[in-house]
Amino acid sequence: MPTAAKLVAGVIFAVLAFFAAQAYAAQLPATSSPAWMREIAAVTGAVLGWSTLGAKGRHQNFGKAAGAGLRTSLFIVIWALLFLAIYLMLKRSISGKYHGLVEALLSVFDIFYAQGRLLVQPDVLLILLAGGVLGGLATEWAARRFT
């Protein structure tokens, strides 16, 4: 059932994921920036904001809401990196870089780790941390205000 908290969480975390992906893509060389990365991150943020943070409803206080927002940011990072790793693996497998299915599947974890290391930049982390806290607080406010 749609609620105001789910809507606010979905919208805020979609925007948060888009801008975090934008800051992440700005550090990559122009030739290695994956297509659709920002859009995939935004959809991931909307779905996870709606389903993980918005579905919880009201928390006991704003501190727990901020923590739930940070947890949602972490989930977005994990899922977006996994989708990016799978996308890059498929792109490489079409080019014939792998000799078998197992090698291609194992490369997903290598790509996940390599892309995750690139994610640890101050601007990206600031967007994710501050946005997660503010998103959790805004979702809690919407849950209290419109419920």
Distance, in Å, from the CA atom of 102 to the CA atom of 14, rounded to the nearest integer, reads 33
| pLDDT band at residue 52 under the 50/70/90 scheme | confident
- pLDDT for 45 equals 95
Residue 37 has pLDDT above 90, yes or no: no
- pLDDT for 35 equals 73
- pLDDT for 44 equals 94
Burial of 42 (0-12, 13-18, 19+ CB in 10 A): buried
| Integer CA distances (angstroms), 34 to 30, 55, 78, in order | 9, 31, 17
Tell me the average pLDDT across 37-50.
Answer: 92
Cβ-based neighbour number of residue 5 at 10 Å: 27
Q: What is the pTM of this model?
A: 0.88
pLDDT one-digit tens code per residue, 68-119: 999 999 999 999 999 989 988 998 899 889 999 999 999 999 999 998 888 8
| pLDDT band at residue 59 under the 50/70/90 scheme | low
Cβ-based neighbour number of residue 56 at 10 Å: 20
Is the Cβ–Cβ distance between 64 and 40 less than 8 Å?
no
| pLDDT band at residue 50 under the 50/70/90 scheme | very high
- pLDDT for 31 equals 67
What is the pLDDT of the chain when averaged over all its residues? Answer: 89
